[in-house]
Amino acid sequence: MKAVRREPVDTTPLWIMRQAGRYLPEYQQIRKGKTFLEFCKNPDLAAEATLSAREVLGVDAAILFADLPTILEPLGFGLDYQPGPVIDNPFRIGSTIDDVRELEDVGEMGYVFDTVRKVRKGLPDDIPLIGFAGSPFTLASYAIEGSGSKHYIHVKTLMYSAPELWHEFSSRLARAITKYLIAQLNAGCQCVQLFDSWAGCLGPNDYREFVLPHLKSVIEQVSPHGPVINFLTGNPALLPLCAEAGGEVIGLDWRVDLADGWKMVGHDRAVQGNLEPVVLFAELPTIEARAKAVLDAAAGRPGHIFNLGHGVMPGMNPDHVKALVEIVHEHGSKTNAASDFA
């Protein structure tokens, strides 16, 4: 939280996106015999996954175990996992805004807030809990495409052919996301992250017209309740616009040098990132060298939270993830101590 506020730290803090996941044997044991949705909707199990990952890895924050598309269910979308998320009634050309419910009450997501309270009770007082949600664009993409996509044909067709409907839909999503994140903070999270996992498919003009107003609306309303990490992946050219949308912290993926990315979003923001996730499949000397390069790029400037440029991948060696934590803490203390900002 000191790094979020751009205050000096003894060493660079880190957490890892998808830190509770299939690569961890502890997670596999907890998940055994249950579907993903059953797991997400069981606060005892979701809390155990959140807490065990934080403890096993020794990271400086816990990230809530949940999933991005689950908030689409109370909006009227049928969600299943096969194994990835699939929407059985996607929102397409020909749909109307009346096909989407307005989220009047976040009570249908109560299992998430129960998980938050259980995790907060189980965490040490000095370890923050990070909540999260998908951004309006990323959730819209799930709802419109119906599953993962390479070209986002249905999304872009709706944007270009029915812009008024796009904005109505995005506004409805933005209102739901805002309520959802504020409820997570009220339940016990210290910080929340907005994932724009799919917005990298857009050019700057489309991002400015179709994404920026709705993302900015969410962040402006959530930030008074707790700090927001605004994470975009896939297109560094969008970083200035991403920063314009707001957020106390801007997440950087691995496609940009951290020093360059920080300059693009402004040194008046904290940044998070940005080791290439696949580096963790390499041998330990390579992991150490690449992690140190990220720390050197941050140069000890207050406000750097170390993370991968996106999530941990299945099949990754958990010992390499644990080693990364030790490497960052060791070299981060040296980098911060030797910094001109110390």
- 67 annotated ligand-binding residue: yes
Q: Judge whether 18 counts as a catalytic residue.
A: yes
How far is the CA of 340 from the CAs of 199, 255, 299, 304, 315, in angstroms?
A: 35, 27, 8, 15, 39
Q: What is the DSSP letter of 267?
A: T
Whether the Cβ atoms of residue 318 and residue 28 lie closer than 8 Å to each other = no
Q: Does an H or E element contain 163, and which?
A: helix 163-187
Q: Judge whether 301 counts as a catalytic residue.
A: no
Active-site residue (options: 22, 92, 255, 290): 22
For residue 80, report the phi and psi dihedrals to the nearest 5 degrees: -140, 165
Coil, helix or strand at residue 3 = coil
How far is the CA of 123 from the CAs of 25, 45, 136, 211, 326, in angstroms?
A: 21, 15, 30, 35, 20
Please, which residues bridge with residue 232 across strands? Answer: 196
116: Cβ contacts below 8 Å, ≥ 6 apart? 64, 129, 131, 184, 187, 188, 189
- 22 annotated ligand-binding residue: yes
The amino acid at residue 204 is P
- 299 annotated ligand-binding residue: no
Active-site residue (options: 31, 54, 120, 172): 31
Active-site residue (options: 6, 18, 54, 175): 18
* CA quadruple 212, 171, 201, 219: dihedral sign: positive
Active-site residue (options: 67, 99, 114, 257): 67
- 126 annotated ligand-binding residue: no
- 21 annotated ligand-binding residue: yes
Q: Judge whether 319 counts as a catalytic residue.
A: no
Q: Judge whether 22 counts as a catalytic residue.
A: yes
Q: Judge whether 101 counts as a catalytic residue.
A: no
Coil, helix or strand at residue 321 = helix
Please, which residues bridge with residue 196 across strands? Answer: 232
DSSP string of 122-157, one letter each residue: HS-TTS-EEEEEE-HHHHHHHHHHSS--SS-HHHHH
∠ Cα 132 137 143 (to 5°): 95
Active-site residue (options: 6, 27, 54, 142): 142
The amino acid at residue 305 is I
- 142 annotated ligand-binding residue: yes
- 197 annotated ligand-binding residue: yes
Binding-site residues from annotation: 18-22, 67, 142, 197, 310
Binding site listing for substrate: 18-22, 67, 142, 197, 310
- Which of the residues are catalytic? 18, 22, 31, 67, 142
